[in-house]
Amino acid sequence: SNEQLPDLHHHFCVLKLEVHMYASQWFLTLFTAKFPLCMVFHIIDLLLCEGLNIIFHVALALLKTSKEDLLQADFEGALKFFRVQLPKRYRAEENARRLMEQACNIKVPTKKLKKYEKEYQTMRESQLQQEDPMDRYKRENRRLQEASMRLEQENDDLAHELVTSKIALRNDLDQAEDKADVLNKELLLTKQRLVETEEEKRKQEEETAQLKEVFRKQLEKAEYEIKKTTAIIAEYKQICSQLSTRLETQQAASKEELEVVKGKMMACKHCSDIFSKEGALKPVAVSREEPGVDLDDEKDSLKKQLREMELELAQTKLQLVEAKCKIQELEHQRGALMNEIQAAKNSWFSKTLNSIKTATGTQPLQPPLATQPPKEST
């Protein structure tokens, strides 16, 4: 340090601060006692790559970076600086990296180190031979007192850290116990809810199975009703077709018979006056006392037959209208059945979807809605 930092060396000499008072711990523990791990890792890497001399490089770099602070400190302040403030400075990884760069740039010749070592050993031996035992004991006593002061200070720091750590650990333990109690209560509630949910799920599954069976039966019944209604509609359509054909046939036959009667009446000279050339009926009164009673009887018979045919035609038309009304009613019933079946299918699908969502936990449980089976068609 005398060659690299002469002013700092002179200051230490004035304070009677020897190197072993601050650097012995660095060398004995490889800087692991006080300095942060991010810095120690770099030092060990350099030690493995460069050898033991890197320790002197790091020590000189520490002294150079702390030169201004150390020049202003007294003996106790310097020792406290080495023990407390200097390690805190290198907690930041960037500061540790810059220190390592500065340490690598310092040049310490190996030959001079060996020479200093030999000179130190020689000086140490001569001092031991020439030194008065009383002075040596006083110096040793002073060193031991300094070490004792340092150890007491470290002991106080460690005791303070221990008390602080105990208090912090106790607080953490209390918080952990409180949190554990809360978590245990939540766990019990969760287990209870799980049991209730499983029971509700089982009931929902049973109810879903029952609803499926009911809907299946209703669907089968509705399909049977549709088939039955379709068959009835087809039968009524066939009947209506037959009635229409029969009506057309009867109309054609009635027309032919009417033409025959008209021809016979036109052939009769007594009856021909009733009709005009176009066949229109003339309101000519015919006396009952005139001859040709047989013709009147025949005419009455033909009129009666004509009325019967007209009555039958009216009845046939009425049957046709009733058949069409019945067909419309059956069509309406069929539409109603189809709507009921679609509503039942939609309700069944909605219930099934809700059951699936409830089983997977995507929506809250809901009580099943009472569904009414579709009314049977009469």
Find the CATH number of the domain harbouring 76: 1.10.472.80
Estimate the crossing angle of helix 37-50 against helix 93-105, to 10 degrees. 30
Calculate mean pLDDT across residues 11-21: 86
Residue 368 tokens, joined: 């099943």
| Per-residue confidence band for 290, with pLDDT thresholds at 50, 70 and 90 | very low
| Residue 95, domain member (yes or no) | yes
Calculate mean pLDDT across residues 117-143: 78
pLDDT on residue 358? 73
CA distance 125 to 115: 16
**Gap between the terminal Cα atoms of the chain:** 119
CA distance 315 to 335: 30
Q: Are 146 and 89 in contact (CB under 8 A)?
A: no
Number of domains the chain contains: 1
Statement: residue 361 has pLDDT above 70: no
| Residue 47, domain member (yes or no) | yes
Q: Are 79 and 150 in contact (CB under 8 A)?
A: yes
Calculate mean pLDDT across residues 151-168: 92
pTM beyond 0.75, yes or no: no
Residue 97 tokens, joined: 């990296």
| Residue 33, domain member (yes or no) | yes
pLDDT on residue 164? 92
Statement: residue 191 has pLDDT above 50: yes
pLDDT on residue 374? 46
Q: How many residues does the chain have?
A: 378
| Residue 327, domain member (yes or no) | no
pLDDT in tens, 322-357: 888 888 888 888 888 888 888 877 877 777 777 777
| Residue 347, domain member (yes or no) | no
Residue 175 tokens, joined: 């918080």
pLDDT on residue 152? 92
| Residue 71, domain member (yes or no) | yes
Identify the domain containing residue 71 by its residue range.
Answer: 6-130
Calculate the average pLDDT of the chain. 81
pLDDT in tens, 37-49: 888 998 898 889 8
pLDDT in tens, 300-324: 878 888 888 888 888 888 888 888 8
| Residue 259, domain member (yes or no) | no
pLDDT on residue 309? 84
| Residue 74, domain member (yes or no) | yes
Burial zone of 57 (CB within 10 Å; 0-12 exposed, 13-18 middle, 19+ buried): buried
Statement: residue 112 has pLDDT above 60: yes
Q: How far is CA 275 from CA 223, 270, 296, 307, in A?
A: 62, 11, 15, 19
